Amino acid sequence: MKTRFNELRRFLNELVLGKEDKIELCLCCILARGHLLIEDLPGMGKTLLAHSLAKAIGLNFSRIQFTSDMLPADITGVSVFEVANSSFRFHPGPIFSSVVLADEINRASPKAQSALLEAMEERQVSIDGCTHLLPDPFFVIATQNPLEHSGTFPLPESQLDRFFMRISLGYPNRDSERTLLEKEDRRELLTKCEAVITKSELLIWQQEAKLIKTRPALLDYVQDLVEESRNSANFINGISPRAALNLVSGARAWALLAGRDYVIPEDVQDVLPAVIGHRLTQAMDQEGHMNLGMNPADRLLEITPVP
């Protein structure tokens, strides 16, 4: 299993240069059956990363480019009247794929956003009274531009909470950028690539991740974190039970990727910023300023002792 992970990592790192740590988080997210939100400036390789992930897993892939005039039917599909047998037939929308890339999700209206997010949560779509199951595995990678950009509808907290993780890529370092500039276009490279792992392999891994051991000492630590986030005056809202669950399953997947069958506190610490970052809001401090020096997740980790 370890060699297979390494093959997967090598494959992705060849396509997306210099982002080993972020790729590791993406893999963790997939193994934990979570949905991923990538937030960054345009042109930072968000779409490339999403494409590469889909390609590597070898699942069928569709891309939805979100725009402000988009309707829910553009995502979920519509029932069309067919004259030949005079009946309605359901034409599945782009969401009926194993990997869905929802590009620039915050450019769409809240109505279209919620159609996607409901499907993400329920893993099924209901149209005209019929329930259509989405394929398994089902994995949404959404990208969004930073909220300050014009023409964006920010995702409300309740919908942000549906995403398992939020990561941002950031600029590549100097060496990676040089390679990027020298070598051929990544997109072209992508079309030539073959899938690295199979669907059944992924399903097995996802099962494995669920079986990773979490001992009482570790759960104590997770609960301490949760409690601290709820009681501390540093944060406005505490960690929700769903977020806590995601934290544990993320830590399990992280331990699996590290080749362990048990979770240690460091696993939790590694995934926490990505899992909790978009759900934790920092409170103003007493003088009325935001504490800009440290992001809320790191602050939470710093003030919670490891048992």
Partner 1 sequence: MSENISVILIKQKFHISTGQEIKPDRQALYSLFIAFLLSVSPHLGRLPVWFTLLGIFVFGWRYKIITTNGTPPGSVIRIVIIFTVLFLLFQHYHTLLGRDAGVAMLVALTMLKFLELRTLRDYMLVVFLSLFIVLTNFLYSQSLWLGVYLIVVIIVLFTVMMYLNHRNRQKPFTMLKRAAAIVMMGLPVAILLFLLFPRLQGGLFGLPSDSHAGLTGMSDTMKPGSINELNQSEKVAFRVEFNGRSPPVTKQRYWRGLVLEKYEQGVWKEGPQVKAIAGAVRYEKEDLIEYSILQEPSNQKWIFVLDMPVSKPAELKWGTGQTLRSMEPVRERLQLQMKSAIEYKFTGISNGVRQRNLDISSVKGARLTRLADKLYREAGSDKAYIKAVFDYYRDNEFFYTLQPPLLGDKPVQSFMLDTRRGYCEHYASSFTIMMRLAGIPARVVIGYQGGEWNERGDYLIVRQSDAHAWSEVWLDESGWVRVDPTSAVAPERIEYGFSAMRELMEQGQPLGNVAGERLQAILAGTLFSRTIKGVKLFWDGVNTRWYKWVIDYGRKNQNGLLRWFGFQQTDWGKLVFLLAGLVSLVVGIQAWLLFRRKKIDPAVRQYQKYCRRLCRVGIVRSPSEGPARFARRVIGARPDLRERVMSVTEAYIAILYAGNTHKEQQQRLARTVNEFRPGH
Closest approach, Cβ 75 to partner 1, in A, equals 40
- Report the candidate in 191, 164, 149, 159 with the shortest Cα–Cα distance to residue 38: 164
> Is 59 a binder of partner 1 (CB under 8 A)?
no
- Looking at 25-33, 88-96, 183-191, 255-263, which segment touches partner 1 (CB under 8 A)? 255-263
- Report the candidate in 183, 201, 277, 168 with the shortest Cα–Cα distance to residue 8: 201
> Is 43 a binder of partner 1 (CB under 8 A)?
no
Closest approach, Cβ 167 to partner 1, in A, equals 21
> Is 295 a binder of partner 1 (CB under 8 A)?
no
CA distance 229 to 236: 9
With residue 19 as reference, give the H or E element that holds it.
none
> Is 211 a binder of partner 1 (CB under 8 A)?
no
Q: Which residues contact 182 (CB under 8 A, 6 or more apart)?
A: none
Closest approach, Cβ 284 to partner 1, in A, equals 11
**Choice from 233, 241, 259, 293 touching partner 1 (CB under 8 A):** 233
**Choice from 22, 144, 269, 271 touching partner 1 (CB under 8 A):** 269
Closest approach, Cβ 253 to partner 1, in A, equals 16
CA distance 68 to 152: 8
CA distance 229 to 297: 9
> Is 232 a binder of partner 1 (CB under 8 A)?
yes
Max distance between CA atoms of the chain, in angstroms, equals: 71
> Is 16 a binder of partner 1 (CB under 8 A)?
no
Closest approach, Cβ 216 to partner 1, in A, equals 9
- Report the candidate in 258, 281, 145, 154 with the shortest Cα–Cα distance to residue 208: 258
The DSSP 8-state label assigned to residue 86 in this structure reads: T
Binding site for partner 1 (CB under 8 A): 213, 215, 217-218, 231-234, 260-266, 269, 286-287, 301-307
